[in-house]
Amino acid sequence: MPEELRTSTRDLEELRASTEAWLRGQVGASASVSGMSRPTENGLSSETLFFTATWDGQRKRCVARLAPAREAVPVFPSYDLGAQFEMMRLAREKAGIPAPRALWFEPDPGPLGTPFFVMERADGEVPPDVLPYTFGGWLYDASPADRRRLQDASVGLLAALHQTAFTPRELAPFGTAGLRAHVEEQRAYYEWAHGRRRVPVLERAFAALAAHWPDDPGPDVLTWGDARIGNVMYRDFAPVAVLDWEMAAVGPRELDLSWMIFLHRFFQDITTGAGLPGLPAFMRREDVCATYRDLTGYEPRDLDFYELYAALRHGVIMARVWQRRIHFGELPSPDDPDDLVLHRATLEELLARYEAAS
Protein backbone atom coordinates (compact mmCIF):
# COMPACT_ATOMS: atom_id res chain seq x y z
CA MET A 1 0.00 0.00 0.00
CA PRO A 2 1.14 3.55 -0.62
CA GLU A 3 2.12 5.67 2.31
CA GLU A 4 0.47 9.05 2.91
CA LEU A 5 -0.30 10.62 -0.45
CA ARG A 6 -0.22 14.26 -1.45
CA THR A 7 -3.73 15.62 -1.95
CA SER A 8 -3.33 19.38 -1.57
CA THR A 9 -0.95 22.26 -2.06
CA ARG A 10 -3.09 24.80 -0.16
CA ASP A 11 -1.89 26.64 2.95
CA LEU A 12 -3.91 25.84 6.09
CA GLU A 13 -3.86 29.31 7.61
CA GLU A 14 -5.04 30.86 4.37
CA LEU A 15 -7.81 28.29 4.20
CA ARG A 16 -8.80 28.99 7.81
CA ALA A 17 -9.05 32.73 7.23
CA SER A 18 -10.98 32.27 3.99
CA THR A 19 -13.34 29.77 5.61
CA GLU A 20 -13.98 32.17 8.50
CA ALA A 21 -14.79 35.02 6.10
CA TRP A 22 -17.16 32.74 4.19
CA LEU A 23 -18.84 31.49 7.38
CA ARG A 24 -19.51 35.05 8.51
CA GLY A 25 -21.45 35.51 5.30
CA GLN A 26 -23.58 32.50 6.21
CA VAL A 27 -24.32 33.02 9.91
CA GLY A 28 -23.19 36.54 10.84
CA ALA A 29 -20.17 38.59 11.82
CA SER A 30 -19.70 36.80 15.15
CA ALA A 31 -18.54 33.61 13.43
CA SER A 32 -15.02 32.31 13.86
CA VAL A 33 -13.09 29.28 12.63
CA SER A 34 -10.36 27.63 14.68
CA GLY A 35 -8.37 24.41 14.83
CA MET A 36 -8.05 24.01 11.06
CA SER A 37 -6.27 20.76 10.21
CA ARG A 38 -6.12 17.95 7.69
CA PRO A 39 -6.70 14.31 8.64
CA THR A 40 -3.57 12.19 8.75
CA GLU A 41 -5.23 9.67 6.42
CA ASN A 42 -6.79 12.03 3.89
CA GLY A 43 -8.92 10.75 1.03
CA LEU A 44 -7.50 10.43 -2.46
CA SER A 45 -10.26 12.33 -4.23
CA SER A 46 -11.53 15.54 -2.68
CA GLU A 47 -9.59 17.42 0.00
CA THR A 48 -10.75 17.15 3.61
CA LEU A 49 -10.43 19.80 6.32
CA PHE A 50 -11.32 19.67 10.02
CA PHE A 51 -12.21 22.79 11.96
CA THR A 52 -14.38 24.18 14.73
CA ALA A 53 -17.01 26.78 13.84
CA THR A 54 -18.32 29.15 16.53
CA TRP A 55 -21.15 31.68 16.20
CA ASP A 56 -23.94 33.11 18.39
CA GLY A 57 -23.02 30.88 21.31
CA GLN A 58 -22.91 27.74 19.16
CA ARG A 59 -19.80 25.64 18.77
CA LYS A 60 -19.80 22.96 16.09
CA ARG A 61 -17.07 20.55 15.01
CA CYS A 62 -17.10 20.49 11.22
CA VAL A 63 -15.59 18.75 8.22
CA ALA A 64 -15.25 20.48 4.85
CA ARG A 65 -14.80 18.62 1.60
CA LEU A 66 -13.17 20.60 -1.21
CA ALA A 67 -12.82 19.74 -4.85
CA PRO A 68 -9.08 19.37 -5.50
CA ALA A 69 -7.07 22.12 -7.12
CA ARG A 70 -5.90 21.39 -10.67
CA GLU A 71 -2.24 21.45 -9.63
CA ALA A 72 -2.95 18.57 -7.23
CA VAL A 73 -3.45 16.27 -10.26
CA PRO A 74 -6.95 15.08 -9.29
CA VAL A 75 -7.86 11.39 -9.19
CA PHE A 76 -11.18 12.00 -10.94
CA PRO A 77 -11.97 14.31 -13.88
CA SER A 78 -14.83 16.11 -12.12
CA TYR A 79 -16.19 16.55 -8.61
CA ASP A 80 -19.93 17.14 -8.28
CA LEU A 81 -19.96 18.22 -4.66
CA GLY A 82 -23.59 19.30 -4.98
CA ALA A 83 -24.57 15.72 -5.81
CA GLN A 84 -22.52 14.42 -2.86
CA PHE A 85 -24.20 16.91 -0.55
CA GLU A 86 -27.64 15.83 -1.79
CA MET A 87 -26.69 12.15 -1.52
CA MET A 88 -25.79 12.53 2.15
CA ARG A 89 -29.09 14.27 2.81
CA LEU A 90 -31.09 11.56 1.03
CA ALA A 91 -29.21 8.74 2.73
CA ARG A 92 -29.76 10.27 6.15
CA GLU A 93 -33.31 11.58 5.80
CA LYS A 94 -34.92 8.98 3.54
CA ALA A 95 -32.91 5.78 4.02
CA GLY A 96 -32.16 6.21 7.72
CA ILE A 97 -28.42 5.78 7.14
CA PRO A 98 -26.13 7.66 9.55
CA ALA A 99 -24.54 9.87 6.92
CA PRO A 100 -23.02 13.04 8.41
CA ARG A 101 -25.47 15.90 8.78
CA ALA A 102 -24.99 18.16 5.75
CA LEU A 103 -24.73 21.81 6.79
CA TRP A 104 -23.79 24.00 3.82
CA PHE A 105 -22.93 23.60 0.15
CA GLU A 106 -20.99 26.37 -1.57
CA PRO A 107 -20.91 26.02 -5.38
CA ASP A 108 -19.01 29.30 -5.88
CA PRO A 109 -15.25 28.67 -6.15
CA GLY A 110 -14.56 32.24 -5.03
CA PRO A 111 -14.34 31.84 -1.22
CA LEU A 112 -11.85 28.93 -1.14
CA GLY A 113 -10.76 28.68 -4.75
CA THR A 114 -12.97 25.66 -5.41
CA PRO A 115 -16.52 24.48 -4.57
CA PHE A 116 -16.96 22.81 -1.18
CA PHE A 117 -19.47 21.57 1.34
CA VAL A 118 -19.47 21.44 5.13
CA MET A 119 -20.87 18.67 7.33
CA GLU A 120 -20.90 17.85 11.02
CA ARG A 121 -17.97 15.84 12.33
CA ALA A 122 -18.70 12.53 14.04
CA ASP A 123 -16.61 10.49 16.48
CA GLY A 124 -15.72 6.85 16.11
CA GLU A 125 -13.19 4.41 14.69
CA VAL A 126 -12.53 3.78 10.99
CA PRO A 127 -10.82 0.60 9.74
CA PRO A 128 -7.55 2.01 8.36
CA ASP A 129 -6.25 1.69 4.81
CA VAL A 130 -2.59 2.37 5.75
CA LEU A 131 -1.55 -0.04 7.09
CA PRO A 132 -4.70 -1.97 6.16
CA TYR A 133 -6.94 -3.21 8.96
CA THR A 134 -6.06 -6.76 7.85
CA PHE A 135 -2.54 -6.24 9.27
CA GLY A 136 -3.69 -5.49 12.82
CA GLY A 137 -5.49 -2.99 15.01
CA TRP A 138 -8.86 -2.74 16.69
CA LEU A 139 -10.85 -4.66 14.08
CA TYR A 140 -8.19 -7.32 13.66
CA ASP A 141 -8.02 -7.81 17.43
CA ALA A 142 -11.80 -7.98 17.85
CA SER A 143 -13.60 -11.22 18.58
CA PRO A 144 -15.06 -13.11 15.59
CA ALA A 145 -18.52 -12.28 16.94
CA ASP A 146 -17.82 -8.55 17.01
CA ARG A 147 -16.30 -8.61 13.52
CA ARG A 148 -19.40 -10.41 12.29
CA ARG A 149 -21.60 -7.78 13.93
CA LEU A 150 -19.68 -5.08 12.10
CA GLN A 151 -19.88 -7.01 8.82
CA ASP A 152 -23.63 -7.57 9.07
CA ALA A 153 -24.27 -3.96 10.07
CA SER A 154 -22.22 -2.78 7.09
CA VAL A 155 -24.19 -4.96 4.69
CA GLY A 156 -27.29 -3.57 6.37
CA LEU A 157 -26.30 -0.09 5.16
CA LEU A 158 -26.50 -1.32 1.57
CA ALA A 159 -29.81 -3.03 2.20
CA ALA A 160 -31.31 0.12 3.71
CA LEU A 161 -30.17 2.30 0.82
CA HIS A 162 -31.21 -0.12 -1.91
CA GLN A 163 -34.63 -0.77 -0.40
CA THR A 164 -35.50 2.94 -0.19
CA ALA A 165 -37.74 4.33 -2.92
CA PHE A 166 -36.49 7.60 -4.43
CA THR A 167 -38.31 9.82 -6.88
CA PRO A 168 -36.96 10.43 -10.40
CA ARG A 169 -36.19 14.00 -9.37
CA GLU A 170 -34.15 12.78 -6.39
CA LEU A 171 -32.22 10.37 -8.61
CA ALA A 172 -31.52 12.91 -11.36
CA PRO A 173 -28.17 14.21 -9.93
CA PHE A 174 -26.66 10.71 -10.09
CA GLY A 175 -26.52 10.20 -13.83
CA THR A 176 -28.03 7.80 -16.33
CA ALA A 177 -29.34 4.59 -14.80
CA GLY A 178 -28.19 1.12 -15.70
CA LEU A 179 -25.15 -1.14 -15.89
CA ARG A 180 -24.38 -0.22 -19.50
CA ALA A 181 -24.20 3.48 -18.71
CA HIS A 182 -22.08 2.75 -15.62
CA VAL A 183 -19.51 0.75 -17.59
CA GLU A 184 -19.42 3.36 -20.37
CA GLU A 185 -18.71 6.03 -17.77
CA GLN A 186 -15.88 3.93 -16.34
CA ARG A 187 -14.42 3.50 -19.82
CA ALA A 188 -14.52 7.26 -20.33
CA TYR A 189 -12.79 7.68 -16.96
CA TYR A 190 -10.08 5.24 -18.03
CA GLU A 191 -9.53 7.16 -21.27
CA TRP A 192 -9.22 10.43 -19.34
CA ALA A 193 -6.89 8.99 -16.69
CA HIS A 194 -4.69 6.81 -18.91
CA GLY A 195 -5.23 7.84 -22.52
CA ARG A 196 -1.58 8.81 -22.95
CA ARG A 197 -0.29 5.55 -21.52
CA ARG A 198 -2.43 2.49 -22.07
CA VAL A 199 -2.74 -0.12 -19.32
CA PRO A 200 -3.23 -3.47 -21.13
CA VAL A 201 -4.57 -5.46 -18.17
CA LEU A 202 -7.37 -2.91 -17.70
CA GLU A 203 -8.24 -3.00 -21.40
CA ARG A 204 -8.37 -6.81 -21.25
CA ALA A 205 -10.83 -6.52 -18.37
CA PHE A 206 -13.08 -4.16 -20.33
CA ALA A 207 -13.07 -6.64 -23.23
CA ALA A 208 -13.90 -9.57 -20.94
CA LEU A 209 -16.86 -7.71 -19.45
CA ALA A 210 -18.20 -6.87 -22.89
CA ALA A 211 -17.92 -10.51 -23.98
CA HIS A 212 -19.69 -11.91 -20.88
CA TRP A 213 -22.47 -9.40 -20.24
CA PRO A 214 -25.19 -10.55 -17.80
CA ASP A 215 -28.44 -11.68 -19.42
CA ASP A 216 -30.36 -9.62 -16.88
CA PRO A 217 -28.38 -7.03 -14.91
CA GLY A 218 -31.24 -6.71 -12.45
CA PRO A 219 -33.18 -3.74 -11.12
CA ASP A 220 -31.58 -0.34 -10.75
CA VAL A 221 -31.31 1.28 -7.32
CA LEU A 222 -29.44 4.23 -5.86
CA THR A 223 -25.98 2.89 -5.00
CA TRP A 224 -23.40 4.27 -2.58
CA GLY A 225 -20.58 3.65 -5.04
CA ASP A 226 -17.61 3.54 -2.66
CA ALA A 227 -19.25 0.96 -0.42
CA ARG A 228 -16.50 -0.27 1.89
CA ILE A 229 -15.86 -0.40 5.59
CA GLY A 230 -12.96 2.05 5.27
CA ASN A 231 -15.61 4.69 4.53
CA VAL A 232 -17.58 3.98 7.70
CA MET A 233 -16.99 5.24 11.21
CA TYR A 234 -17.95 2.71 13.90
CA ARG A 235 -18.64 2.81 17.59
CA ASP A 236 -18.96 -0.51 19.43
CA PHE A 237 -18.85 -2.18 15.98
CA ALA A 238 -21.97 -0.32 14.82
CA PRO A 239 -21.93 2.36 12.07
CA VAL A 240 -22.20 5.94 13.34
CA ALA A 241 -21.13 7.83 10.18
CA VAL A 242 -21.14 6.71 6.55
CA LEU A 243 -18.66 8.72 4.48
CA ASP A 244 -17.47 9.38 0.91
CA TRP A 245 -20.46 9.47 -1.41
CA GLU A 246 -18.71 10.85 -4.52
CA MET A 247 -19.16 7.60 -6.51
CA ALA A 248 -22.94 7.37 -5.97
CA ALA A 249 -24.82 6.20 -9.07
CA VAL A 250 -28.03 4.53 -10.19
CA GLY A 251 -27.42 0.92 -11.17
CA PRO A 252 -27.69 -2.72 -10.08
CA ARG A 253 -27.42 -3.61 -6.41
CA GLU A 254 -24.45 -5.82 -7.18
CA LEU A 255 -22.29 -2.76 -7.85
CA ASP A 256 -22.22 -2.02 -4.12
CA LEU A 257 -22.12 -5.63 -2.97
CA SER A 258 -19.21 -6.60 -5.21
CA TRP A 259 -17.28 -3.43 -4.28
CA MET A 260 -17.63 -4.18 -0.57
CA ILE A 261 -16.53 -7.77 -1.10
CA PHE A 262 -13.66 -6.95 -3.46
CA LEU A 263 -12.19 -4.11 -1.42
CA HIS A 264 -11.74 -6.49 1.49
CA ARG A 265 -10.13 -9.01 -0.86
CA PHE A 266 -7.79 -6.25 -2.09
CA PHE A 267 -6.48 -5.66 1.43
CA GLN A 268 -6.51 -9.36 2.28
CA ASP A 269 -4.36 -10.18 -0.76
CA ILE A 270 -1.85 -7.48 0.22
CA THR A 271 -1.68 -9.00 3.69
CA THR A 272 -1.21 -12.61 2.63
CA GLY A 273 1.35 -11.42 0.09
CA ALA A 274 3.31 -10.04 3.05
CA GLY A 275 3.21 -13.47 4.68
CA LEU A 276 0.53 -12.61 7.26
CA PRO A 277 -2.83 -14.33 7.78
CA GLY A 278 -5.09 -11.28 7.56
CA LEU A 279 -8.81 -11.86 8.04
CA PRO A 280 -9.75 -14.70 5.66
CA ALA A 281 -13.14 -15.33 7.30
CA PHE A 282 -14.22 -11.69 7.06
CA MET A 283 -16.41 -10.26 4.25
CA ARG A 284 -16.64 -13.57 2.41
CA ARG A 285 -18.89 -13.38 -0.62
CA GLU A 286 -21.25 -16.13 0.53
CA ASP A 287 -21.72 -14.51 3.94
CA VAL A 288 -22.25 -10.99 2.60
CA CYS A 289 -24.78 -12.20 0.04
CA ALA A 290 -26.62 -14.35 2.59
CA THR A 291 -27.00 -11.40 4.95
CA TYR A 292 -28.15 -9.16 2.12
CA ARG A 293 -30.69 -11.78 0.98
CA ASP A 294 -32.03 -12.15 4.52
CA LEU A 295 -32.46 -8.38 4.86
CA THR A 296 -33.95 -7.66 1.44
CA GLY A 297 -35.32 -10.88 -0.03
CA TYR A 298 -33.19 -10.22 -3.12
CA GLU A 299 -30.80 -12.89 -4.41
CA PRO A 300 -27.58 -11.30 -5.74
CA ARG A 301 -26.65 -12.50 -9.22
CA ASP A 302 -23.67 -12.64 -11.59
CA LEU A 303 -21.17 -11.97 -8.79
CA ASP A 304 -18.22 -13.27 -10.86
CA PHE A 305 -18.93 -10.58 -13.45
CA TYR A 306 -19.38 -7.86 -10.84
CA GLU A 307 -16.27 -8.86 -8.91
CA LEU A 308 -14.21 -8.54 -12.09
CA TYR A 309 -15.85 -5.17 -12.70
CA ALA A 310 -15.02 -4.05 -9.15
CA ALA A 311 -11.39 -5.12 -9.66
CA LEU A 312 -11.30 -3.20 -12.95
CA ARG A 313 -12.81 -0.05 -11.44
CA HIS A 314 -10.37 -0.17 -8.56
CA GLY A 315 -7.54 -0.79 -11.01
CA VAL A 316 -8.33 2.37 -12.97
CA ILE A 317 -8.32 4.38 -9.73
CA MET A 318 -5.15 2.82 -8.35
CA ALA A 319 -3.28 3.30 -11.63
CA ARG A 320 -4.29 6.97 -11.59
CA VAL A 321 -3.09 7.27 -7.98
CA TRP A 322 0.25 5.73 -8.95
CA GLN A 323 0.61 8.15 -11.86
CA ARG A 324 0.05 11.03 -9.42
CA ARG A 325 2.89 9.72 -7.28
CA ILE A 326 5.09 9.53 -10.36
CA HIS A 327 4.14 13.12 -11.21
CA PHE A 328 5.15 14.31 -7.72
CA GLY A 329 8.44 12.40 -7.87
CA GLU A 330 7.44 9.91 -5.18
CA LEU A 331 7.83 6.82 -7.40
CA PRO A 332 9.65 5.96 -10.63
CA SER A 333 7.61 5.10 -13.70
CA PRO A 334 7.41 1.29 -14.11
CA ASP A 335 8.70 -0.33 -17.30
CA ASP A 336 5.48 -2.37 -17.57
CA PRO A 337 2.35 -0.17 -17.39
CA ASP A 338 0.37 -3.08 -15.92
CA ASP A 339 2.46 -2.63 -12.79
CA LEU A 340 0.57 0.62 -12.19
CA VAL A 341 -2.25 -1.64 -10.95
CA LEU A 342 -1.32 -2.65 -7.42
CA HIS A 343 -3.61 -5.69 -7.52
CA ARG A 344 -2.50 -6.79 -10.98
CA ALA A 345 -2.15 -10.43 -9.92
CA THR A 346 -5.69 -10.54 -8.52
CA LEU A 347 -7.12 -8.88 -11.62
CA GLU A 348 -5.29 -11.34 -13.88
CA GLU A 349 -6.61 -14.25 -11.79
CA LEU A 350 -10.18 -12.99 -12.17
CA LEU A 351 -9.62 -12.43 -15.89
CA ALA A 352 -8.32 -15.94 -16.50
CA ARG A 353 -11.72 -17.61 -16.13
CA TYR A 354 -13.29 -15.27 -18.68
CA GLU A 355 -10.48 -15.42 -21.22
CA ALA A 356 -10.39 -19.22 -21.01
CA ALA A 357 -14.11 -19.31 -21.87
CA SER A 358 -13.80 -16.94 -24.84
Helix axes 285-296, 254-273, angle to 10 degrees: 160
* Strands 32-37, 58-66: pairing kind: unpaired
| Rounded Cα gap, residues 260 and 262, in angstroms | 6
CA angle 229, 206, 272 (to 5 degrees): 40
> Out of 129, 220, 226, 256, which one is annotated catalytic?
226
CA angle 333, 244, 97 (to 5 degrees): 155
Element containing residue 157 per DSSP (H, E) = helix 144-163
| Rounded Cα gap, residues 181 and 167, in angstroms | 19
| Rounded Cα gap, residues 289 and 282, in angstroms | 13
Residue 335 appears among annotated catalytic residues: no
Element containing residue 249 per DSSP (H, E) = strand 249-252
Residues 6+ apart with CB under 8 A from 269: 343, 345, 346
| Rounded Cα gap, residues 202 and 316, in angstroms | 7
Beta-bridge mates of residue 59: 54
Q: Which residues are catalytic?
A: 226
